Amino acid sequence: MMAGAFRIALPAGLVLASLILCAPFGIPGTNPRAGVEAASTQLDPEEREGLARLVGTCKKCHEDVCKEWEGTLHAQSWTDPVFQAEIAELPDKGESCAPCHAPQELLLGGLGKLPRARMKDREVGVNCVTCHMLGNRYSGPFDSTGHGGVDADEAFRKPDLCTSCHGQPEVRPQHDQGTSFRAAARGERPAGCQDCHMPPVTRKLVTSPTIKEKYTIGEQACRMHTFVGARRGDLLRLAALVEAVVQGDHLEVSITATTGHALPASEGRVVRLLLEVTEPKEAAARVLKTWSHGAGSLPANDVVKISAPLGAVKRAQLRLEQVLPKVPGRTEEIVQVFTRQEIER
């Protein structure tokens, strides 16, 4: 009489443990977090020179991390063809997007605050320096003797690092995941953005033999810098818990977004619950419910119940899917399936 309930559970545990992406060593003997507030007021207001070269230097010691980053949309935040095609149609040609798509150091203005845009080296995107440097000082999720001293900062294990760009409802509502994350019901929720978008890994942070031997740096638990998201990676199957039961002539569906933030998470995307009928064959597919970014989204960790009359339906497939719209640079919609379940009466 009913198809077995379908459940997807989100794995726990990804705290924001950004690895220390490096540039040339800092000032020997300095504590990178001591006096950061004072340092931020003493920095030259002009953006740093040679950012592309500096990021290239990071790879000499942190090759694994940099290779991961190079394949991400963070690395391509300015050069991504879809983004470039879209800003080409904007009156300001993307200047209003530059604070997040080509930011200066986040620590310059403070984590959780909208970054300053840079004018140079925009093709380097969101890079090592963006998150880990302030002037000649280095910060990360755990301390190190490298760079003349890297100090641990708990902020790197929390959402604030990410909400600098992904939690600005007043100026960037279309990319605001932070507000719904903070408002999410408690329970089995991710502790931070890193829980889903930076998978845990145990490895050597430093791959350069010379540096590794000098500082006797071994393997340790840390995070990958893959920054997987809905457009890339395998997060979709972890994003929702769906349970469906046939009750007489109705289908009762319970849906819980297990993302930690609202679903869908960005403007323009639509999540829809679809019943695709296979028997009788002449019956048409039905969209049972749609959700869009903002007030009409699926709230995180709350159960949403849908009741739909089945009528003459004998067999069908229930699907929860996300649709990425056509945009400049992308001529077709992209349909991504979260879950599918066979329904039989």
The string of pLDDT tens digits covering residues 273-284 is 999 999 999 889
User: What is the residue-averaged pLDDT of the chain?
Assistant: 84
CATH class belonging to 236-344: mainly beta
Burial of 275 (0-12, 13-18, 19+ CB in 10 A): buried
Band the pLDDT of 190: cuts 50, 70, 90. Answer: confident
**pLDDT at residue number 209:** 78
Q: What is the DSSP letter of 188?
A: S
79: helix, strand or coil: coil
Return d(Cα 211, Cα 162) in angstroms, integer: 30
Instruction: List the one residue out of 66, 174, 79, 185 whose CA is nearest residue 124.
Output: 79
Over range 135-151, report the average pLDDT. Answer: 86
pLDDT digits (tens, 9 = 90+) for 202-227: 998 888 777 666 666 678 889 999 99
pLDDT digits (tens, 9 = 90+) for 44-91: 457 899 999 999 999 998 999 999 999 999 999 999 999 999 999 999
**pLDDT at residue number 32:** 35
pTM across the whole model: 0.81
Band the pLDDT of 235: cuts 50, 70, 90. Answer: confident
Burial code (b: 16+ CB inside 10 Å, e: under 16) for 246-259 equals: beeeebebebbbbb
Domain chopping of the chain, boundaries: 36-157+198-223, 236-344
